[in-house]
Every structure is written in structure tokens, then in C-alpha cells.
Amino acid sequence: MRLALAVLLAGAAGGVLTPPAAASGPGPGGAAAARACDPIAPTECLLPFPNDWFTRADPRSETGRRVAFTTDTLPRPASGIPVSPTAWNRSDGFSPGSAVIAHVPGLDPAATGAAPITDIGRSLDRDAPIVLLDADTGERHPYWAEPDAGAGDDGRRALLIRPARNFHPGHRYVVALRGLRGEDGRTLPAPEAFTTAAGRPLPRGHALYERQRALRPVLRDLRRAGVPARGLHLAWDFTVASERNLTGDLFSIRDQAFRGLGHAAPDFEVTELTDLTPQEDPRIAREVRGTVSVPSFLDRPGGPPGSRFHRDRDGTPRRLPGNTQTAAFRCEIPRSAFTGRTPSRPALYGHGLLGSRNEVGAGNVKAMADEHNFTFCATDWIGMAADDVPVVLGALTDMNGFPAIPERSQQSMLNALFLGRAMIHRDGLPADPAFRAPGGRPLLDTRHGLVYDGNSQGGILGGALLAASTDIERGVLGVTGMNYGLLLNRSSDFAPFQQVLDAGYPDKLRQQVVLQLYQMVWDRGETNGYASRLADDHDVLMHIAYGDHQVAMVAADVQARTLGARLHAPALAPGRSPDRVPHWGIRTAGTPFRGGSAMVVWDSGTPTPPLTNTPPRAPEYGQDPHSDPRNMSTARQQKAAFLTTGRVMDVCGGAPCTAIPTP
């Protein structure tokens, strides 16, 4: 895999893997009446970002807005190929987890007093130099501010303002920057265009007349919130995409597919059955492989890598006649299901980054299965599986190819939903001889609902799967977080892909905008776009590895705040966290735990990760603890209790949870 990845990386960096540009044209919610670059921030076209300057009125959308990018406003890759705005212009707002980006040459965030990652509470101070205001509620929104540590040129360094809790879908937000200072402590002058637009009324026909009109409600909302126009360095507003817009594609293909299925079990075929002796595997007695047939909503027969949704004129995903996804699956039936009195609990498993269903055969999954009598079945997260690596790499050099990733990922979620239904339907897998013991005794317990367990990417995508499922009762999201736009810069996994992104978009300021543009369409294929629905409909247990090199803990904290998850306390030993208030804004769980979602931090003694948007690397940051929680029997005991009862057991004796580093 490493050699193949190296070859693919070399090809992508040379432009070999760049997918063809998407078809041009406005499509649904196209770029009619779109504006050019925002004149109040002349250094980079899409800045400040996100920004309602790049939307238009749309009375048909739930927000009343529609994103209206053009090929001229979207950043072109180094190849110079124009980027079609079609996929972005389906949005009625921006990502609920978007970083707010501004370019302020000479800015020193520390001298300014901007709230750092270690003191999020400071962002809500009345005199905070950066204000995020929910214009719909009048409340301030928490954040932390950081300069892009990956930018080598101070003159092209982005100011990144990260929401500490996702923005509320469908709401409008106002951003204000004031009292910004440089290293010498002096106040930085505001951009002249902004000062003019925020000043006296301009005559019709003035170059900034329209910008001034758009700025008036921004200044009015700030004034009502106690932030006067005088002293502002920059201010603007943006609208967050509605929940319906974020979840609409996945929920639509789910509803269409299950409506066609009715009360029947999905069609499936068992292609391979292997009975294992205790000497061959002391935990798993039978391994079953097969396929399940799923309606495909992708635009190519069988939905290969690079496929996108086939859409009707209104932009709704529709199935091409007869198009079917043959989703391969692998199931591990524990020895306890054969030897115990009760059949095993059916559970879906979600694999890690660009992996495959075969991760269900990992040692920790087998241990979980046999120790707690679960049968785990898995199918590939197509779109983010091993076969998709060339498409992923190509999308990093050219944004045109990116929508294929989340759209194929949504098809993979439908595949998993069909596999899950087959696991619990009396005419599905439980009826097949492969899932019966000698003598015909069932090995799958259909009296109880389906549950989910996923790790790493399986956690990041798994929350979206749970939000879409009517069969899954609850789930465990292991070493998880959400929002790839926040995660990538902070992940050691992304390091080899960074060179490809650098080749496609070498300017670091523009690159930060590109990452947030990716997130706008990625929301449809990972938990970030479904967090509000997940919080309402499902309970999850989040297991976090302190100092994780691959999935940054800060992304888990944002997710926990957004879900309203409770924190196992004490979470860490005293002095372990550099934060002024560790896990700020996350309420602690009571004893006993009374239901809902929860987060447990497992500490292997790994050094605290960087406080910048950079990844931790060995040896400075020690051994990666990413795999440690799932390899602890106590953590598996806690997961099993949650999956079966919804309770979070204190398996750590009233102390912080510690893990043994995986050899």
C-alpha cells in the first residue's frame, strides 16, 4: 500500500491524476447575479470567508440565500483549469464548521489579545477584539483564533477563526475585527475600502455603493450587540447552510431506496464461508463474505471511483434505470455466539482512512466481538476507501474532482444502511445457513436493534451514518472528531498528501480558502453536516485518545459541544492539559450516567499535541496513541455496555481513564 501510494503521489504532483473539469453552467442555484471579489478585502478574491457577498437572494431556499460563486471567483489550481461552481452553488449557505478566514498583514494575535486555543472562554469577553455574533439570536459565538502556522510568508498568512461549537444551521452570523495590533503593539489601520464603505453614505454609482448597502445590516446588528462601528478593522456577515440543505442528498437517496425496498430484505449473496478452529482463531468461529445489492444513485453503472450523483433538473439525486451498487461485505461471527445461550448482537463496523471492510478482521474488533457477543459486519466506505486514493489525490490538485468524494461516500452510507437492514431482517442474513449454527440455531439476535462501532474515519463518517439510519439504535465513534477542514492540517496522516495539495494550490493563503471550500461539499459526506440532526436523534459514545497524532482532539471537543455530549470526569490528571479551562464548554457527566451522548478521554501518556494547526510527529510528540483506546479491554467493556443499554459505565474507578500504549 505504501509503495502504491508513493507512485500515486508522484503522479498526482505531476498533474497526471487530475480529473476532467466538471461540466460548466449554473445548474440549480447557479451563479446568476453573482458578485465579483469583495472590495473590502482586496488581497484575495474570496476573502473574507465565508461571506454573504458571494450569495444571492433565493426565496425558494430555507435560508433565503443561495451561494453564487463563479468560475472567476473560485481559486484555480496551478494548472489554470477553471473550477465549475455547480457543486458549491447548490448550497443555501456555508459550512456550519467553517473556519472564518481573514487576511491581516502584520497581525500579532497575542498582542491583539485574540482568544487562543488554550483560552476559548476569552472569546466571549465583552471587549474581545474578534466578535462572532449570531444575528438570529443576538448571542456571541465561542471560537479560538490562530495564525496559519504552515504559511512561510508572513505577508500571505491567514488568520483562522475556528468556531468552538458548530454554527447553527440556517442562521446568519456577523464577524467583527477591531483593535488589531502588530508585534510592536500599534493598532493596524483598517483597509481603506472598508473604512469608506462603513463611513458616510456614498452616492449611487460609487464603486463601493453596493458594498455599503450590504454592510448596513452588519453594522446595525453589531451596534445592537454593543459593538460600535468606530474602531472596526473589518466586518461582514455570512449565512450557514440549512439542515435540510446539508442532509438533503443523503436523506433523499435513503428514502427513495427504502421506499423501493418496502418491507422486504435487501437482496444479498453469501460468496464465501470459512469456519475456523480455536487453534486458527480463538475468538472468531466463522467468517462470512458476500455482497448486498443496493440501488445506485451514481452517474456510472456500478458507481466506480470518480462517480458522482446522477441528478434531475432540480438537482435531486436520481437512480439511473437499473443502476445497482454491489456492495461487498465481510462479517465476523464470534465463538461466543456458538458456545453461549444467546445469539450475537448485530453490529456494523466502520473502517479507517482510505481502508477497506477487511479492517473488521482486526484484533481489537475480534476481541470486542467475542468478549461481548457481537457479530460485526462491514462494507467499504466507497468514496473514502482504498480504491478511491487516485481520485482523492487528483482532487487535491484540482477542485473540480472533489465533489465525487462526498457523493460516493453518501452512496457508501446507503450501502451500509442496506447491509444493516439485511442483518436484522428475518428474511435477511439471519435466515441464511451461513448465520446459523449446526442444527439451525440462529447466530444473529433479531430481537434487538442494530448498533454501530467505528474508528478514526469510521468515527468521522459514522456520525452521518447514524443520523441517516432508522435501524441503528446507538453508536460508538472511536478516536473521532468531525470537520476535515479543521482536521487535515493537524493530522499526521495528511503529511504525504500535503505535497499534492501544495502542487495544486501552492499559495498558502489561498490554500486555506480551498480547504474550507472542500468542507462546504464534504459536509454532505461526514458528520460535520449532520451534527445537529445526530444530536436530536441518536446517542453516541465518543472515545478520544489524548495527544492523538491522526485525529486532533480539538475536533472532538467541537463535536462534543455541538452534540451536547457529557464528559467523563475527571477527564485528565491535574496539570495534564495546557488549557486555562480544560474541555471548555463541555458539561461533565453525572454518576450514574443518565443517558444521552458522552465523551471519554483515554490517556496513554503521550505529550500534549501542538497548539498550532500543525500535526504532532514522533519523536518530539511521542508514540501515536491513536490505536490505544480500542485495544483496552476496559474500553471495550464500556463500549459494549453503552451499545446494549445506553449507559456509560465508569470503568476507570472514578479516576481519569488511562490506556496502555499499543506495541
Q: How confident is the model at residue 180 (pLDDT cuts 50, 70, 90)?
A: very high
Specify whether 203 is located in the same domain as 311. Answer: no
Same domain, 458 and 589: yes
Q: Is the pLDDT of residue 8 over 70?
A: no
Write out pLDDT tens, residues 611-644: 999 999 889 999 999 999 999 999 999 999 999 9
- What is the mean pLDDT of the segment spanning 465-492? 98
Inter-axis angle of helices 457-468 and 404-424, nearest 10? 70
Distance from C-alpha of 416 to C-alpha of 383, rounded to nearest angstrom:
13
Dist. CA 544–CA 326, nearest whole Å: 34
The confidence score (pLDDT) of residue 16 equals 32
Say whether pTM exceeds 0.85: yes
How much is the average pLDDT of 54-78? Answer: 97
Phi-psi region of 483 (alpha: psi -120 to 50; beta: other; left: phi over 0): left
Complete edge-to-edge strand list for the sheet that includes strand 143-147 = 100-102, 159-163, 143-147
Question: What per-residue confidence (pLDDT) applies to 25?
Answer: 35
In a domain, 277, yes or no: yes
pLDDT on residue 43? 85
What integer best gives the mean pLDDT of the chain?
A: 94
Q: Which pLDDT score is estimated for 515?
A: 98
Q: Is residue 491 part of a domain?
A: no
Give the pLDDT score at 531: 98
Kindly state whether residues 436 and 466 are assigned to the same domain.
Answer: no
Same domain, 347 and 212: no
Q: How many domains does the chain have?
A: 3
pLDDT at 648: 95
Q: Which residues contact 279 (CB under 8 A, 6 or more apart)?
A: none
Q: What pLDDT does residue 243 have?
A: 98
Q: Does residue 521 sit within a domain?
A: no
pLDDT at 382: 98
Asked if pLDDT for residue 4 goes beyond 80, the answer is no
Pair 173, 74 in one domain? yes
Q: What mean pLDDT do residues 573-599 have?
A: 92
For residue 612, tell me if it sits in a domain.
yes
Mean pLDDT of 586-591: 89
How many of the other CB atoms lie within 10 Å of CB of 365? 24
Check residue 34 and give its pLDDT.
Answer: 57
Q: For the chain, give the percent of residues with pLDDT over 90.
A: 91
415 and 478 inside one domain: no
Q: Check if the beta carbon of residue 47 is closer than 8 Å to that of residue 38.
A: yes
Whether 592 has a pLDDT exceeding 70, the answer reads: yes
Give the domain extent around 571.
Answer: 449-482+538-663
Give pLDDT tens digits for 317-339: 999 999 999 999 999 999 999 99
Asked if 211 and 280 sit in the same domain, the reply is: no
Selection from 547, 506, 538 nearest residue 646 by Cα? 538
Confidence of residue 18 (pLDDT cuts 50, 70, 90): very low
Q: Are residues 312 and 164 in the same domain?
A: no
Q: Which three cell numbers stand for residue 516?
A: 474550507
Q: What is the pLDDT of residue 42?
A: 80
Q: What is the pLDDT of residues 95-152, one digit of tens each?
A: 999 999 999 999 999 999 999 999 999 999 999 999 999 999 999 999 999 999 999 8
Mean pLDDT across 405-434: 98
- Which one-letter amino acid corresponds to residue 15? G
